[in-house]
Structures are given as structure tokens and as C-alpha cells.
């Protein structure tokens, strides 16, 4: 996905060139991965001449949020609290990351309250 985001609109060849910088993959493997990502609705393609040109359906942050939701549903019985508690208890997050997460949650919560107050006027 990172290669598609970097190169988009991206041909198979452009994605393969980026991926090949770090991994030893054949172009046919890149093509297969792109088809699978499209089948899972992460990508869309259009045909230009004889080339498939791919674009990501979502921005990285949005896709990451969707992936985390799937993890929560699959491994944490749908509980965000279980996920976050597990991250904290397993010392996965540093103190700085925990503090940043707390600030982010507080800011988002305050923004929601302000938005709700505006609607209620």
C-alpha cells in the first residue's frame, strides 16, 4: 500500500520498482498482490492503454483505522478497552506514546462536545 500511495496513480511497473528496492519479488507477484488488494477494496484501477493504473481507495490514516477496527473485532471481541488495556499492560506503548494518546483523546473528545453544543443551539 505504501508503494501505491507514493506512486499513485501507479502502474504495476511503478509499484514493483518501489517494492523491489526493499524486497526481492517478481513482477507477477506484485501484480497478484495488487489484484488481491483491489478485491479487498483497498485499491481501484482504471485501464489506460494496456496498463492497469491503481489508486488507493483510502488515505493511510483511514485505512489504518479500518485495520485496527478489524483487529479489535477479531481479537478483542469488539472491545476497544480490551485492546488499549492490553497495549498498556504488555508495555507496548512508551510513556511518551501514552501521553500523546491521552492528549489526542482529550482533544478529540473536547471537539465532539463543542460540535454537539453547536448542534443543540
Are residue 29 and residue 75 in the same domain, yes or no?
Answer: no
Are residue 82 and residue 105 in the same domain, yes or no?
Answer: no
Are residue 45 and residue 72 in the same domain, yes or no?
Answer: no
Mean pLDDT of 15-37: 94
Integer CA distances (angstroms), 105 to 29, 64, 76, 85, in order: 40, 17, 20, 15
pTM above 0.75, yes or no: no
Cβ atoms 39, 17 nearer than 8 A: no
Are residue 9 and residue 30 in the same domain, yes or no?
Answer: yes
Domain tally, the chain? 3
Is it the case that residue 117 has pLDDT exceeding 70? Answer: yes
* Domain membership of residue 105 as a residue range: 95-121
* Size of the chain in residues: 121
Are residue 21 and residue 51 in the same domain, yes or no?
Answer: yes
**Mode of pairing for the β-strands spanning 10-11 and 43-48:** unpaired
Q: Among candidates 32, 30, 10, 11, which has minimal Cα distance to 20?
A: 30
* The pLDDT value given to residue 121: 65
Note the pLDDT tens digit of each residue in 91-107: 999 999 999 999 999 99
Amino acid at each position: 500500500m505504501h508503494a501505491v500511495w507514493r506512486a499513485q496513480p501507479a502502474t504495476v511497473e511503478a509499484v514493483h520498482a518501489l517494492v523491489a528496492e526493499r524486497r526481492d519479488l517478481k513482477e507477477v507477484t506484485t501484480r497478484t498482490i495488487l489484484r488481491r488488494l483491489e478485491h479487498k477494496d483497498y485499491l481501484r484501477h482504471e485501464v489506460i492503454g494496456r496498463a492497469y493504473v491503481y489508486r488507493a481507495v483510502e488515505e493511510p490514516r483511514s485505512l489504518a483505522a479500518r485495520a485496527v477496527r478489524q483487529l479489535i473485532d477479531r481479537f478483542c471481541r469488539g472491545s476497544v478497552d480490551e485492546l488499549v488495556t492490553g497495549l498498556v499492560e504488555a508495555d507496548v506503548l512508551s510513556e511518551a506514546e501514552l501521553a500523546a494518546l491521552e492528549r489526542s483523546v482529550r482533544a478529540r473528545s473536547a471537539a465532539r462536545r463543542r460540535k454537539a453544543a453547536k448542534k443543540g443551539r
